Amino acid sequence: MTAQPPHSVDTERVIIVGAGLGALYAALNLAPHPVLMISPDALGQGASSAWAQGGIAAAMAEADSPEAHAADTIRAGAGTVDADVAAFVTAEARAHILDLTAIGTPFDRDAQGGYVLSREAAHGLARVVRVQGDQAGREIMAALIAEVRRTPSVQVIEGVVATDLSTSDGKITGVVIEATDGSGPIRLRGTAVLLAGGGSGGLYALTTNPPRIRGQAIGMAARAGAVMSDAEFVQFHPTAIDMGEDPAPLATEALRGEGATLINRDGTRFMLNIHPDAELAPRDVVARAIFAETQAGRRPMLDTRTAIGAEITHRFPAVAEACRRGGIDPVTQAIPVAAAAHYHMGGIAVSAQGRSSLSGLWACGEASATGLHGANRLASNGLLEALVYGRRAARDIAKGLDRSDAPPVTLTLPNGGLPPDPALVASLRQTMTEHVGVVRDAAGLKTALCHIAALEAQAKGNPGFLNMTATATLIAAAALLRQESRGAQCRRDFPDTNPALAHRSTLTLTQALALRQSVTETSA
């Protein structure tokens, strides 16, 4: 952790870092206890949740059950899912769908009022609740934001980022914040801290994540000493639209659920010979196949022409709009795709109640590692996990609160502070894509650790960049330590799955830095 700033503000509010689905849902579930949300952007504009296209997985159909959902989750997770977590998360799913419906989320419904369900990769049947084809994240967020705006106990401060955690007597008591333009910092102390600041996909040069989602929340907790889990497991979405945008637009998995196929420039449907489920194989399998086609120069593409045709424009408007920007007509042309960093299964290790290893600190959403996803997240379980743990963390925090009111926080940020150097960020992202990507090996991971150390040395202690390099170091170190291929962790030098390693990993930043130092000294 960096030196704490001289200016401080105290509040009797719970501090929530982040403004995605988990953060908003936790804030609502803490009511009437007073909450302060820290959001870098205007609500709904900078969170991965708003970009989620598929929807929320839940056993809503009569033929389905939480047990079947849990079984699919465990199967997709490749041997490292916590079965108890999978059981209670899937059991709670239906209740959260009903709650979101009650606050106005316009889930797709059929003529009888039932939920329209789509099937996505590695699900045994259709169980993904969606909105207007590919608008789930945006519409769910809109409903939650409207509810938060109506909730007097929740204060939102926009345009502010957290860069450090603040401690007192071994307990997390608050955060260090600064404005997104760099002014600040000040120390903000509250009654509890919930980190809900997203994952780390933006640490990669090719990603589907919003620009600010670059491992900062995970890195902040790691630098404070929190235990991390499953850091090596980064999920690459197989069908990011390959059209030169950063971040890359997403072609939702629901398209493949509707029958869209993957072909290469020769027109060959290459998934047929790779997995019995073809395009609906687990994401890690499809991502590696896409990556292999790209590396071989065969230009992988998603073909929606026969299965969906002209209906794509109104059934999947986000995909159609992205294609239009890229000069692609999905009605008459196949959509070029690439595997892009999409979701981090690892993060801050938390209990069933969202508690981290540090007193006073909770985490939910993609910044956390709950054990639900294992080595490979089942499609549309991400938003579900954020809901379940957002509520569980809120209820656990509330047990230690006795206030139902607190004055609003007024901030005056001093001049000073600098955002991370864009050139260093760009170099870090390129390093991660080249050496810690879809397919890895020891040589590349060691090269990455050396590059990360060199970039960190140039950062002159900038806390925002140190959070990024902390998370990048954890991912690369954990990937180097896991000498096997399992789920999203693919090692070309250890291509087989080792049954003895069918367990979750844990790592602290201190341990990861020691490994990085050893690698750096050996490579010198």
Residues designated as active site: 283
Which stretches of 374-503 are DSSP H helices? 382-398, 422-435, 442-458, 463-481
Torsion, Cα of 383, 384, 390, 393 (10° steps): -140
Angle at the Cα of 491 (from 363 to 234), degrees rounded to 5?
20
Encoding tokens for residue 79? 């041997």
Two structure tokens written together for 418: 């600098």
- The phi and psi torsions of 107 (rounded to 5 degrees) equal -60, 150
HSE-up (13 A, CA, CB side) for residue 155: 17
Buried b / exposed e along 163-199 (16+ C-beta atoms within 10 A): bbbbbeeeebbbbbbbbbebbbbbbbbbbbbbbbbbb
| b (16+ CB within 10 A) / e for 28-42 | bbbbebbbbbbbbbe
From the list 304, 306, 302, the residue with the least C-alpha distance to 264 is 302
Give the residue ranges of DSSP H helices in 103-239.
Answer: 136-149, 216-223
- Rounded CA-CA distance 400/393 in Å is 12
Q: Is 322 exposed, middle or buried (CB count within 10 Å of its CB: 0-12, 13-18, 19+)?
A: buried
Distance set, CA 484 to CA 235, 281, 498, 523 (Å): 16, 20, 6, 23
Instruction: Tell me the residue ranges of DSSP E strands in 296-423.
Output: 301-303, 335-344, 347-349, 361-363, 368-369
DSSP label at 484? S
Is residue 470 within 8 A of residue 327, CB to CB? The reply is no
Instruction: Name the nearest CA neighbour of 371 among 108, 80, 39.
Output: 80
- 3-state DSSP assignment of residue 263: strand
H-helix or E-strand containing 7? none
DSSP per-residue codes, 36-81: EEEESSSTTTS-HHHH--S-EE---STT--HHHHHHHHHHHTTT--
Task: In whole angstroms, give the CA distance from residue 281 to residue 122.
Answer: 6
